[in-house]
Amino acid sequence: MRIISTIFLILSIAAQFGCARNTQQDEYRGSMLSDLPFVYKMPVQQGNIVTKEMLDQLELGMTSAQVRYLLGTPMLTDMFHANRWDYTYTMKRGNAPLEKRPLTLFFEDDALVRIQGFVPVGRGEGIPGEDNPEIIVKVPDWEARRGLFGRALDAVGLDKRN
């Protein structure tokens, strides 16, 4: 009887350590193969996209209807805090960390009184002291490439396209 209780005690302790394994921080982690460089992970974009041009048009004192027309329906509206609108944008690119951009608007008496959170960077603007060169991609002209069979016909002189 003493051996059975000892075995039961050891198994219960082992089961507790098995349940207390280290969990990963990234909840979107799939398998061990997803960390390999040749595995493609599609970028996942969610939420409201708020551009610099939209924020430039935003002014304090605007009504909630004007803000909704300009920025769209907010991602989160809390019934306990009806005067607070949250525009949240997240982007998950491959193995890069999750990118979060929250924007919160506060209203009083149906008028915008405060803007808090992420301010997007427009084109040509960025971190001071950092160069933002334009990216120019040169694409070569299309060339007709003949396959092995076409080159063999050219060599024999049986090609009717010329």
In a domain, 129, yes or no: no
pLDDT for 151: 82
In a domain, 155, yes or no: no
pLDDT for 156: 86
Main-chain phi, psi angles of 60, to 5 degrees:
-65, 140
In a domain, 30, yes or no: no
Dihedral sign (CA 26, 31, 32, 34): negative
The model's pLDDT over 117-157, given as tens digits with 9 standing for 90+, comes to 876 555 444 434 445 556 676 777 767 777 888 888 888 88
Of the ranges 17-21, 45-49, 53-57, 95-99, which one carries the lowest mean pLDDT score?
Answer: 17-21
Of the ranges 71-75, 106-110, 135-139, 158-162, which one carries the lowest mean pLDDT score?
Answer: 158-162
pLDDT for 129: 41
Q: What is the CATH number of the domain that holds 107?
A: 3.30.1450
Q: Name the residue type at position 100.
A: K
In a domain, 114, yes or no: yes
Average pLDDT of 96-108? 88
Task: Inform me whether the pLDDT recorded for 21 exceeds 60.
Answer: no
The model's pLDDT over 53-88, given as tens digits with 9 standing for 90+, comes to 888 888 899 999 999 999 888 887 778 888 899 988
In a domain, 160, yes or no: no
In a domain, 106, yes or no: yes
Q: How many structural domains does the chain have?
A: 1
* Residue 42 banded pLDDT, cuts 50, 70, 90: confident
Give the CA count within 13 Å in the CB-facing half-sphere of 61: 1
With 0-12 / 13-18 / 19 or more C-beta atoms within 10 angstroms meaning exposed / middle / buried, residue 74 is buried
Domain that holds residue 49: 39-124
Percentage of residues of the chain with pLDDT beyond 70: 72
In a domain, 85, yes or no: yes
In a domain, 27, yes or no: no
